[in-house]
Amino acid sequence: MNVKKFFYWAKILVRNLLRLDRFFWKDLKKYIISIYVIMVLDVWFNFISRWSQAIIINNLIQIANWVTLERRTIIILAVVLVATLILPSFINIVSWFYRLVIWRKIDELINLTFIRKKASFDLNQLENTANTTLFQRVQENMWRFRSYFYTQFDISGSIFNLVAILFTLILIKPVVALVILVFTLPEAISKLSISKHVWTIDNLHWPIKKKYNYLKGLFFQWNPIMDIKFSGNIDFFTNKIRKIIDPFLIEQYKNDKKRSINSAMTIFISKVGIIISAFILIYAVYNKEMQIGTFVFLYGLIASFQSSLSFFFWYIVQQYEDNLYVEEYFQILDMKNEMRFSQNPIVLPAKITPKIELRNVSFSYPDKDKEILHKLNLTINPWEKIAIVWVNWAGKSTLVKLLTRFYDTTGWEVLIDWNNIKDLDLQSWWSQVSYMQQDTPSYMFEVKQSIAMSDTTRNIDMKKVENAAQMSLAHDFIKEFKNWYAQQLWRNFDDGESLSWWQWQRMNLARIFYKDPQVYILDEPTSAMDAEAESKIFETLANLPKDKTVIFISHRFSTIRQADRICVIEDWNIIEVGSHKELIANNKSYKRLFELQAKGYA
């Protein structure tokens, strides 16, 4: 690494460290200051201890030479010696205790901040492949924050120690200070240059590592394990994993080897520095320029200097490596939301069902040429129960993600009560809507909590929970549970019950009903249910209070016949609109497809 680069990274390192300190300062101020104070005290205790040892030795040599000393001098020296030996142990215990407190706290702060930041991003940013790699890498290396934060104490400790020793050496024997510094330099340079390499390997291999994580992850899920076993594919998978990881290991091995050889060589050079310094000191004693006690003192300092310096570089390398990940963490924290929001957003009034309009809406996914929607026009009036079916083009789920502004349109607008969705206060819009995604998440809590997840601003209202479960038909199986609505879900938890997907769909629908919104947007909510249940659910939806809008997306024609209006979309355009009866009478695509599917059911 060249000098310019080194200083560049040193600057970033210090900047990140200060940023991290500021990050934790409010919560950990007391501990950080205490640790620093203890560190300075420790260095001084160490010094005083060594110095008193030297004086004791000098005095003992005089005693050995029949010079009588005042007893008081010896007693004072002994007391100082004992005190400096015992006190550091005590204060170091306090320091370690504080370090443990910091250890736990850092984890919590770092993780929660990361989760919050991630949740603030829009869908485009979350789905972006480069971002997902970044998120995963930072997630996997969260532990480095602790190490990064801790190492600053070790580095500072080493610096205090080194400065104190250097200062003493320069006062007593400057040439020794110079020798030690010069001979330790190669070790420093070699350590710093290899460290960058380690990170690059790790970085380069991330796309591969993601595949590795995926393959390994399969063995943490029951279904893949059973399938892999059943198809006799265990060897296939372990070989695949080995093939992925082997080149990585080989490179790591080469790097570790290079590191070890460099270490051996440079450590040898720095040891030569110690030997030369030792000779300089012995020579001084030989010439009667130095007393034995002073020799022991200085020799001890040199050894301590050398090991402190060595550790110092080790810590710097550690810090340098960790910094690369910490830098990425801050990069995420600094990432701005790509979606633009209005400075003065329009807040929609509560409990008023808005009109929803798609005007000439086009959309394509980022980095994809293909248009998913092309100049689509659709008006959904308040209170309408509308079903949307697509004939020969995919884009249903994409469409509803535009209505909820998970994505922004690439051409023209989505209007909510004549307001461009981009000018709205999104929370005020979202609070009016219950949106069931096609692959909506299931929450593995107790039944009542899983249902009440759509409104956590209030305590769980059991009457509403049961009512919602009745409407979604989830009550049918909840009543069979040992603990009813207090039943823990998911077998992975103690005493938990796992559900089938059709059961989850009922649970998730109950969650939608519990919110009691003005607008329901349902993306194939009954796809896993049997025909009878599906028809009952649709009846419930059709009979919701009049002032509710229901937008129901499906490709199953049998489920939508009770809708006020059915919208058939083909090649980006609405080709037919009307009630079931009207569309059958129309005798076009809808009728053809309806009869085709009906035949399948018959």
Ligand X SMILES: Nc1ncnc2c1ncn2[C@@H]1O[C@H](COP(=O)(O)OP(=O)(O)OP(=O)(O)O)[C@@H](O)[C@H]1O
- Rounded to 10°, the helix 292-334/3-64 angle is 150
58 binds Mg ion (CB under 5 A): no
Interaction pattern, residues 547-566, with ligand X; x per rule: CB under 6 A: --------x-----------
Cα–Cα distance measured from residue 53 to residue 539, given in angstroms and rounded to the nearest whole number = 92
Residues 369-428 that bind ligand X (CB under 6 A): 372, 390, 394-398
Distance CA(259)–CA(193), nearest Å, equals 10
Among residues 245 and 391, whose Cβ is nearest to ligand X? 391
127 binds, among ligand X, Mg ion, none (CB under 5 to 8 A by kind): ligand X
| Strand partners of residue 389 | 568
Least distance (Å) between residue 589 CB and ligand X: 16
Total number of residues binding ligand X (CB under 6 A)? 12
Residue 368 binding partner per list ligand X, Mg ion, none, with a CB distance cut-off of 5 to 8 Å that depends on partner kind: ligand X
Nearest residue to 554 via CA among 364, 400, 362, 380: 400
Report the C-alpha gap between 335 and 14 in whole angstroms.
21
Nearer to ligand X among residue 217 and residue 366 (C-beta): 366
Nearer to Mg ion, 397 or 470 (CB): 397
Which among 1-9, 28-36, 39-47, 365-373 is the span making contact with ligand X, rule CB under 6 A? Answer: 365-373
Contact segment (CB under 5 A) with Mg ion among 31-39, 69-77, 388-396, 508-516 equals: 388-396
Q: How many other C-beta atoms lie within 10 A of the C-beta of residue 265?
A: 12
Contacting Mg ion (CB under 5 A), which of 238, 438, 500, 573? 438
Using CA atoms, how far apart are residues 414 and 387, in angstroms rounded to an integer? 18
State in angstroms the smallest separation of the CB of 118 from Mg ion. Answer: 24
Q: Does position 146 bind ligand X by CB under 6 A?
A: no
- Closest approach of ligand X to the CB of residue 597, in Å: 14
Residue 427 burial (10 A CB sphere; 0-12, 13-18, 19+): exposed
68 three-state secondary structure: coil
Closest by CA to 180, choosing from 271, 292, 290, 314, is: 271
Polymer length in residues for the chain = 602
398 binds Mg ion (CB under 5 A): no
Closest-by-Cβ residue to Mg ion is 397
Query: What token pair was written down for 514?
Result: 């519990």
Site string for ligand X, 54-83 (x = CB under 6 A): ------------------------------
Radius of gyration of the chain (CA): 36
CB of 393 to ligand X, least distance (A): 8
Helix (H/G/I), strand (E/B), else coil: 445:
coil
User: Residue 489's beta-bridge partner residues?
Assistant: 497
| Chain contacts with ligand X (rule: CB under 6 A) | 127, 365, 368, 372, 390, 394-398, 438, 555
| Chain contacts with Mg ion (rule: CB under 5 A) | 396-397, 438
